[in-house]
Chain A
């Protein structure tokens, strides 16, 4: 419900072609208790300043496009209500731990590379053979990975993670959870080659189980849990080499 009140949004601004460094710009927006931060940003873009640049799409927590820092916390702005901050001003910044392209828009390149690195698709030799019908899966087999398949790639976990900010080799919460999701899929046969990527260098071992990724995840994926499970698998594989020097690498568990 629209009222006469207003509230202030302090928004991070940076246009690399004209600005030598970023600055904050304050905007007065109408206060509506049904509005989310994204509604207020869209209102500014439509009524006050068309040069304000931000990403958004679905407005309903499905697309994962509108992640930003809201008063220092990584949030989907479509799920952050003005009424939870009113009457204090709200500071809106681009997601931290990512390079800023323009205003509230960050570069996805590094994240996309990490996502692709874990081979987030079903790997098997007979993937094109459809003559045998569909690959069947029991509800129990689906339950093994379903939670980890709910990720919408909103990248809030990368902004919440202190390791993602300073360890370049670390693949990060979303990519590792996604790799783990395919490793647990009964249709998949690519676990060994995926683990080769996940267990190299600091790719997974950079994680010190801070757990903030799970706290901020809007889809309750629990990436921190996925990473710990994957580490336990890695430890099993490590010791299995001594028990079964041959054949352990491709073994399914």
Chain B
């Protein structure tokens, strides 16, 4: 019997799940609450420091990794949810919008990070 290629998508899903669970909440807390909190001048100083950190290319590559894998995690979950909702016969076709969307999001994130 031919082994399914699903292992590839599941690997991205699995890695993305770890990334999303470990880092995304921390990113939300840091960039959404901690950085902008308190005195405006101090917050601006903190933001400048953070921008300097993101300016370092290994940090941008790591950020892109977290974002891309989280997007593929999300895409895989949406595809399987749609299959469970009755679109099981379209499982192959659903790959295009789901993983294509994750790929588009990855390219967009790469462009944004590059422009920083």
**A: which residues have CB within 8 A of B?**
162-163, 166-167, 195-197, 199-203, 205, 208, 231-232, 234-235, 237-239
Contact = CB atoms under 8 A, between A and B. Distances in A.
Given A200-B2, A231-B14, 5 more contacts: A162-B84, A199-B4, A205-B10, A235-B7, A238-B7
Interface string B1-44: 11111111011001000000000000000000000000000000
Closest 6 CB pairs of A and B: A238-B7, A200-B1, A235-B11, A205-B6, A199-B3, A234-B7
B4 A231 contact: no
B80 A208 contact: yes
Given A167-B88, A237-B7, A238-B7, A232 B1 contact: no
A203 B1 CA distance: 11
Contacts, number: 44
A195 B7 CA distance: 12
B39 to A, nearest CB: 46
Secondary structure type dominating chain B contacts: helix
Contacts of B11: 235, 238-239
B84 A238 contact: no
Interface of B: 1-8, 10-11, 14, 80, 84, 88
A200 B6 contact: no
28 contacts: A162-B84, A163-B84, A166-B88, A167-B88, A195-B3, A196-B1, A196-B3, A199-B3, A199-B4, A199-B7, A200-B1, A200-B4, A201-B1, A201-B4, A202-B4, A203-B4, A205-B6, A208-B80, A231-B7, A231-B10, A235-B8, A235-B10, A235-B11, A237-B7, A238-B5, A238-B8, A238-B11, A239-B11
Contacts of B88: 166-167
Contacts of A195: 3
A118 B85 CA distance: 28
A203 B7 CA distance: 12
A221 to B, nearest CB: 22
A239 B7 CA distance: 9
Contacts of A166: 88
Contact of A208 (B1, B7, B84): B84
A231 B88 CA distance: 20
Contacts of A197: 1
